Amino acid sequence: MAITRFAPSPTGYLHIGGLRTALYSFLWARRTQGEFRLRIEDTDTQRNNEEAMKAIIEAFEWVGLNYDNEVEYQSQRLEIYKKYIQQLLDEGNAYYCYMSKEELDALREEQMANKQTPRYDGRYRDFTGTPPEGVEPVVRIKAPKEGVISFVDGVKGAMNFNATEVDDFVIARSNGMPTYNFVVAIDDALMKMTDVIRGDDHLTNTPKQIVIYKALGFDVPKFYHVPMINNPQGKKLSKRDGAMDVMEYKRQGYLAEALLNFLVRLGWSNGDQEIFSMDEMLELFDPNNINKSASAYNEEKLLWLNAHYIKNVSNERLANELEFFDCHLSGHDKKEMILDLCKERAQTLLELKASIDNILSTPTSYENKGVKKFVKEETASMLESYVALLEANKTSLHLACDYEAITKPFIEEKGLKFPQLFQPIRIALTGGTQAPSVYDILAVLGCDESVQRIHAALAQNFGK
């Protein structure tokens, strides 16, 4: 049974790299009948963003990653951290360091001049003298001076860090506020995390956190450090490439399951399988099979997946999703027909809305290029004849096949080619030439509305 967590800092909106980490953690916890927890790391009060904090919760609700218990906020746990800092001080595993900023800067300059790695030199590690006046001390942990800090990473394998790479790092600032690595280790230990899945940008934090675990006698969890998501060129993902607020994906018309399906494949696979339902993810995902190399963001793949889900979710679901974009079909008597027609060509909900609007909205202008190409001198009389045909048969015209049944003989009788009739009708009904099948549009609009739009286009001479 795995107990996992996702622990974002509310200093910015949740991006897809974070959402992927959350998804992996969620899947592993659920697959093992464990727990998935959400913790907000908000101890950096100067950088916290209230809106970003709300957006993180909102994003979880949108994609359906339900977490166990209440959300934990580090800012509400300060007394817990202070208790463990004091314990380390009392047990001689941490100490007050009175080194001033000027001294620390001078030490670093000297070390860099000597081509040494800048690090604290431990001068107050065993200090027993009189503390200097006017200096508010930080608290540093006593890191091991020799040996190797080792752990087996579920993604990267055996990891070994020389103890000399970890200095006596600060666990509490001079104002008493605990530092990031300290609170993360305390929280993960007290929340009984068994598996910590996170980005490999945290890899260098791990030996420091292990030092804290061992100093306090806590069990060390299993770590999985997931490689980053790069852009197609192999560089750090930028907003232009897709590293935007998760909720922006909703605003751009992506379905939550398409985004999750896309993310689960960015670093993990099950053979050549591309489409994964949530049930399949829960059955198959194992963090021990996460790829060791970075993955590449592929917008075309995301659009392909989104189109797949748009075609395959229920029309009721699509109608509900479209409400977010002010496209209201719930009360429309042709809702099923409209959605069946338009979703086949849509890659996003925005495209779906545009396609629906293109049919349902009465055109106020007509595509100039299409008019020039397809509206000829004989077009008006041809359309008048076709309108007469529609009106003569209106009581029997309901489905696309009904319109097809009367239109094909009309085309043959008049000696027309299909585009000669269909493109002027398409322009009259929608204003352009790229709409779906004319038969389908006629069926959606109905005879009366179709006749009215054709008459309107003729009255304006198609805007010529």
Query: What residues form the annotated binding site for ATP?
Result: 239
Of the listed 239, 292, 372, 414, which one is catalytic? 239
Cα–Cα distance measured from residue 430 to residue 437, given in angstroms and rounded to the nearest whole number: 11
111 close to 63: Cβ distance less than 8 angstroms:
no
- DSSP-assigned states of every residue in 263-326: HHTSS--STT-----HHHHHHH--GGG--SSPEE--HHHHHHHHHHHHHHS-HHHHHHHHHTTT
Sign of the Cα torsion 38, 44, 45, 46 reads negative
Cα–Cα distance measured from residue 306 to residue 327, given in angstroms and rounded to the nearest whole number: 19
Which residues, other chains included, contact 429 with Cβ-Cβ below 8 Å and sequence gap of 6+? 359, 363, 435, 438, 441, 442, 445, 450, 453, 454
DSSP H/E element including 196: strand 195-199
88 close to 182: Cβ distance less than 8 angstroms:
no
Burial letters for 37-65: b for 16+ Cβ neighbours within 10 Å, e otherwise?
bbbbbbbeeeebeeebbebbebbbeebeb
Cα–Cα distance measured from residue 6 to residue 37, given in angstroms and rounded to the nearest whole number: 6
User: Residue 404 corresponds to which tokens in the numbers above?
Assistant: 């097809």
Which residues, other chains included, contact 327 with Cβ-Cβ below 8 Å and sequence gap of 6+? 352, 353, 356, 357
Order of all β-strands in the sheet with 195-199: 157-162, 148-153, 222-226, 195-199
- HEC states along 71-86? CEEHHHCHHHHHHHHH
Q: Is 235 a catalytic residue?
A: no
260 close to 281: Cβ distance less than 8 angstroms:
yes
> Strand 138-141 to strand 94-97: parallel, antiparallel, or no bridges (unpaired)?
antiparallel
> Strand 222-226 to strand 195-199: parallel, antiparallel, or no bridges (unpaired)?
parallel
User: Residue 289 corresponds to which tokens in the numbers above?
Assistant: 């099979």
188 close to 5: Cβ distance less than 8 angstroms:
yes
Cα–Cα distance measured from residue 398 to residue 139, given in angstroms and rounded to the nearest whole number: 79
What count of residues does the chain have? Answer: 464
What residues are annotated to the active site?
Answer: 239
